[in-house]
Chain A
Amino acid sequence: MVDYVWLIPALPLAALIIVLLVTRPLELAGRPRPQRTAGDAHGLHSVPDAHTAPGDEAVSHEPQAHAEEHDAHGGAHDEHGGATPFWARVGSIIAVLAMVAAFVISVIIFAQFFTGNVPGIDAHGGKTLQIYDWVSFGPLKYAIQFRVDTLTAIMLMVVTGVSMLVHLYSTGYMAGDPGYSRFFIELSLFTVSMLILVLGANFLVLFIGWELVGLSSYLLIGFWFDQAPPANLSDPDTPPYPPPAALKAFVTTRFGDFGFLIGILILFFSTGTFDFVQLQAATPHMNVALLTLAMILVFAGAVGKSAQFPLHVWLPDAMAGPTPVSALIHAATMVAAGVYLVARLFPIYAGVAGPQALQVVGYIGGFTALFAATIALTQNDIKKVLAYSTISQLGYMFVGLAVAETNATGMFHLVTHAAFKALLFLGSGCVILAVHHIQDMRKMGGLARFMPITALTMLIATLSISGIPPFAGFWSKDPIIATAFEYGTAHGGNYWLYGMTAFTAFLTAFYMFRLYFMTFGGRGGGVAGLWGGRYRGEGHPQEAPWTMWLPLVILAVPTVLLGFWGINSGFAHYLTGETIPYVNPFTEALTYTGIAVAVVGIALAWLMYGIEVLPKTLFTGNPIGALVYRVLFHKYYLDELYGAIIKYVVLGLAKGCELFDIYIIDGLVNGSARFVRGLARVSSRSETGLLQNYGAAMFGGVIVILVIVFFAVGALK
């Protein structure tokens, strides 16, 4: 089956092409032709052949027909408003089915690796499949190759699994949106790109996928591209605005890619290969300092893609995209690509490069985990809390990679996080639809009674991310914190990473339960504020349709059970093939400390937001607390700082270039031009017809040429 792995990206690709070239045109052809209105008044401006094929017309006027329909802030965006056209629904069903098929193949391949029954596996525990050759120069190969090993197999499961559920969910969430088909095209494009990324056997293919997921992310963040700007854009409570958010996401990650690409260049020049397996053999012959630098530069790409400090600023804004996108791309898969990259190159990071490389990974990760968690404490937008939480959890994964002996610790958290964070985002999507496109948690509350399935599954995910046993998050997060402690012990009592991750665990439990209580619970609710309470919004919220709650229920299963794979180092054994000495966490004091920290966080959230016996101004009532709150609420003012740098430094330099061109270079040129034109006028005395001037200039030119030739030939004699 491994030989057919190309089918996995080919299936969504086929769906993409079918929707783009078949069902979408059919949908447009079936659309009632709108009346021409303003266009005729300006007929003068249209070119004569503006009216051609019928399909042409339909495309041109499609957005007008649905003008204003998806303006989420104007309130006109009604999910149950327009019916989804027949062919659009056909297209989405094709896309969902393609994903189901891809998921089934992924499961089979995973099962083969899980049971160790993979035919034709090489010494490095994987299989490389040649797709085709780009080019090659002597020994330098630019080949399109896929590689499947245990790491790829688990990533294939995660990507196709979450993508399948998000596809299904989107048939409900996006129903009635005029861009319904476009949404599925872009979602499939993302899935194909992400699969190329995880299947890549070398830097070339990985980088292709890496950039293409960036494209799909850009397109999907800017999905509602014609939305009007909200009035108070700089207010952190305002939901992000798609057009600038898409731009910011792409350019910020590209900034990281700059480092990534230079890292690739260094490695390629030093080893002559992009291939991961060959790199593993070749890098020991490299200069260690250069290799370490290269690996840190490669990590810069991960910093951009996985939204780590200082390039994290794009991810909260990326929440401008539709919520299923946030779940798939900006929580479960694409943002984890940076973690996957480090895990993929882990043998080089840990075994060959200098220790500084992983130290950079660990400290950036640890700092980001803490940093993002502090911001998450203060946000009121439900998706922004989840976005900062994602940044924070990705930081955990990097710490896990940096401190552990294998890449399994970090990767396990990636897998469990994909399940529970996708669940949290999809659940928040149900909530946002139920309360009519409000994302401010202050206008929610008590929703558990209205939407019990969503509330229960979200509660499970919240417990999981908070690190409460027996949920999956505990089994993946506890080893990271414990290993960070051991790392500290082994490095002369340097417990910084432990301290940061442990304190972040407390913050995580607090802000996640703050989110839960503010959304679903509150004073007066059942089970001590956990279930229901006063609803602060408008209208009558309803549970989501089955297409939307079914993915939540399915995701709840791994959120509960996946952790047990971590017991007895099962996951690590699967991933690395080694038997890792196992310590039962419940024999360690450290584990109880970790759980206690989380419980304290939950308890505090419960007191403040559950039964609301503690005032919400508990910490912000005093001047220092108020100041801290202000700084956190404004995300440490980093957006303002970056904005100023771009505006004054980058654009200033750019303006400098242009002014130099206009005044210095052109100044010289225009001076000489006047001189030559003067000559031309003297020699021809003609009117300023172009041809005459041209002739004159030619004449002048020929004379100059002859002079030069004369000198040139003379110089040789």
Chain B
Amino acid sequence: MLTAIVFLPLLAGVITLLAPERSARWIAAIFTGAVFLLSLWLYFGLLGGSFGDVAHPQWYEHLDWINVQVGNIHFRADYALGVDGLSILMLILNSFLSFLAVIGSWNIQPRQKFYMALILFLETGVAGVFASFDLFLFIFFWEVELIPMFLLIGIWGGARREYAAWKFLLYTLIGSVFTLGGIFLIYFETGGQTASFQHLASAGPKLAGTIPFFGAALSLPVVIFILICVAFAVKMPTWPVHTWLPDAHTEAPTAVSVLLAGILLKMGAYGLIRIGFGFLPQGLEAIAPWVGILGALSVLWGAGASMVQRDMKRMIAYSSVSHMGYISLGVAAAAVATSAGNLDFRQAALTGASLQMLTHGVITGMLFFCVGVLYDRAHTREIDVFGGIGKVMPVLMLLYSFACFTSLGLPGGGGFVSEYLTFTGAYATLPVQTILAVFGVVLTAGYLLWMLRRSFYGALNPKWSWLTDATLRERSILVALVVVILFIGIYPAPFVDLLSPSLHHMLTTAQSVVAR
């Protein structure tokens, strides 16, 4: 089942390349749609039973892959796929947004065939990251996903696409270097026999001791945590390694921005939660206040920088930095175990942070689609050149405003649920950082509504009187996102129930480590 979800897009990508140019988008749409349905089955097939946790993965598949012995060093990487609630949520988000991305790129030019194939390859890479249950397999998919993304930005991007693509690649690669180092460290330190998630989730939290570093003795779990999380921090992105994101987003075509913000950033957050927090809670706990500060700083910094952007996409890119900061904050707060009684608060924070991955994915995806609708017609995204276009694009104005309001955390939208849970939970352990982050909601309202005011409100700039409103295809995509966002916002219980077992398992593991 999971193999199908991961590799069906790859197969479809190959078929697309072999098929004639005209049929490429249909093949891509059919396959991404099918994978979306399959990923839903991951959820519905488990409904009523257990969604699993890291020690009890569902839909588990396992094959031997690499198993070599060099001297006394044993290297083993398995082909292990499995899911729990956290990964199911991400897999569904991935397949959903990939499907919408194909529909959203229906008229992409040039080289449509190659483009569609790359989107499909990307889907495989990302799905692999979320479904891997072996750390080496995880990092393999993590690196694989870079290639299609690099090419998508580099070929179909805007004027500075090469610079942006390179920046994206370099940042990510350099980040992965540290992570791979950290992965080897944790692999050997936990016995050097297997890197399966089940093993690491139980052995990782038991790690202790120190590691010599230029004469100083550093705590081993902290060092491994920091090393592993470098790539995650870059990907999320966290201040100060966030500057690749605005460039990548500004240059990338619409649907690629949607995938980048909607899914690829979530890989970083997923890694932070699954690996950083799951395997090394003691490492995170030791530096949690600092991680919380980084989160709050990202929130405020991203919001501040958003305020002075001229380009809509660049603004939304910075807003992603801001919104992803809430995740760092929530995860850091969940790791601080000051006393046994606050476990519930910490679960609220971790649930909020995990849910924020989903809500930010759909909301920011919607924002990028809205900008795309505008850009496809006007061929510019500069906020100030528009003015009063709400008059000629009332439907887009409505949908764009909806996206902005849910993004700024208005109740009824999913963003409110995740932010409210994060804040109410995180305040218990990291009050100062939380207060700083809460101020982000004021700034977010400021820059998003100011953008709307400048582009959609006021007298219509006659230059744009020829703009046409969103088409049926564009509306369908946006309305689909509206439905999802409202569902999460009004009735979040199913999503939280899905997440709860795996998050609870992580928290209790972490709790037992600290209580020790």
Contact = CB atoms under 8 A, between A and B. Distances in A.
A39 B468 contact: yes
A138 B377 CA distance: 51
Interface string A249-276: 0110011011001101110110010000
Contacts of B174: 701
Contact of A135 (B155, B184, B351, B471): B351
Nearest to A688: B162
Contact of A208 (B165, B211, B412, B446): B412
A666 B345 CA distance: 38
Given A657-B304, A697-B170, A701-B173, A246 B438 contact: no
Interface string A40-64: 0110011111101100100110111
A228 B189 CA distance: 68
B236 to A, nearest CB: 15
Nearest to A666: B243
Given A208-B411, A697-B170, A708-B181, A135 B427 contact: no
A52 B471 contact: yes
B438 A262 contact: yes
Nearest to B395: A59
A225 B423 CA distance: 34
A640 interface: no
Interface in A654-705: 654-658, 661-662, 665-666, 669, 672-673, 676-677, 690-691, 693-694, 697-698, 701, 704-705
Contact of A661 (B305, B376, B390, B459): B305
Given A204-B420, A246-B453, A261-B438, A46 B154 contact: no
Given A47-B376, A255-B442, A658-B305, A265 B345 contact: no
Contacts of A140: 344-345, 348, 424
Contacts of B46: none
B457 interface: yes
B442 A251 contact: yes
B491 A60 contact: no
B190 to A, nearest CB: 12
A672 B177 CA distance: 15
Contacts of A266: 427
B472 interface: yes
B459 to A, nearest CB: 4
Given A258-B442, A701-B177, A673 B166 contact: yes
Contact of A654 (B107, B171, B307, B456): B307
Given A42-B466, A140-B344, A655-B308, A212 B439 contact: no
Contacts, number: 242
A57 to B, nearest CB: 9
A54 to B, nearest CB: 11
A26 to B, nearest CB: 17
Contact of B347 (A137, A243, A651): A137
Given A140-B348, A142-B421, A657 B456 contact: no
A258 to B, nearest CB: 5
A619 B442 CA distance: 42
Given A250-B449, A650-B307, A657-B305, A690 B154 contact: yes
Contacts of A651: 307-308
A218 B449 CA distance: 10
A225 B188 contact: no
A654 B305 contact: yes
Contacts of A134: 417, 492-493, 496
Nearest to B446: A251
B355 to A, nearest CB: 9
B460 to A, nearest CB: 6
A240 interface: no
A453 interface: no
A215 interface: yes
B170 A709 contact: no
A231 interface: no
Interface string B351-391: 10000000000000000000000001111000000001011
A503 interface: no
B388 A39 contact: no
B459 A228 contact: yes
A677 B163 CA distance: 11
A561 interface: no
Contact of B465 (A38, A48, A56, A262): A38
Contact of A60 (B410, B423, B468): B468
A227 interface: yes
Contacts of B169: 694, 697
Contact of A669 (B171, B178, B185): B171
A715 interface: yes
B441 A258 contact: yes
Contacts of B244: 669
B141 interface: no
Given A39-B468, A45-B466, A657-B305, A135 B449 contact: no
B284 to A, nearest CB: 20
Contact of A676 (B154, B170, B390): B170
A515 B423 CA distance: 47
B471 A49 contact: yes
B466 A39 contact: yes
Contact of A48 (B107, B154, B185, B446): B107
B216 interface: no
B445 A250 contact: yes
Nearest to A672: B170
Interface string A172-210: 000000000000000000000000000000001001100
A618 interface: no
Contact of B441 (A222, A261, A662, A691): A261
Contacts of B307: 650-651, 654
B240 A665 contact: yes
B176 interface: yes
A645 interface: no
A712 interface: yes
B181 A709 contact: yes
Contacts of A665: 240, 243
Contacts of B76: none
Given A134-B417, A258-B442, A226 B173 contact: no
A129 B96 CA distance: 37
A132 interface: yes
Interface in B178-223: 178, 180-181, 184-185, 188-189, 211-212
A421 to B, nearest CB: 27
A243 B458 contact: yes
Interface in B416-453: 416-417, 420-421, 423-425, 427-428, 431, 434-435, 438-439, 441-442, 445-446, 449-450, 453
B469 interface: yes
A223 B328 CA distance: 38
A698 B492 CA distance: 42
Q: Which of B166, B188, B395, B457 counts the most chain A CB atoms within 10 A?
A: B457
Given A207-B411, A208-B412, A250-B445, A716 B471 contact: no
A284 interface: no
A651 B447 CA distance: 10
Q: Which of B184, B242, B431, B439 has the most CB of A within 10 A?
A: B184
A421 B420 CA distance: 35
Contact of B423 (A48, A265, A654): A265
A247 interface: yes
A272 B383 CA distance: 44
A653 interface: yes
B329 to A, nearest CB: 13
A663 to B, nearest CB: 11
11 contacts: A60-B393, A135-B421, A135-B496, A138-B343, A215-B410, A225-B458, A226-B457, A254-B442, A651-B307, A694-B169, A701-B176
Q: Which 8 A-B pairs have the closest CB atoms?
A: A243-B457, A228-B459, A60-B469, A208-B411, A138-B344, A708-B181, A42-B466, A654-B304
Given A661-B243, A694-B151, 11 more contacts: A135-B496, A207-B420, A208-B412, A208-B416, A242-B457, A247-B450, A251-B449, A265-B431, A651-B308, A654-B306, A669-B171
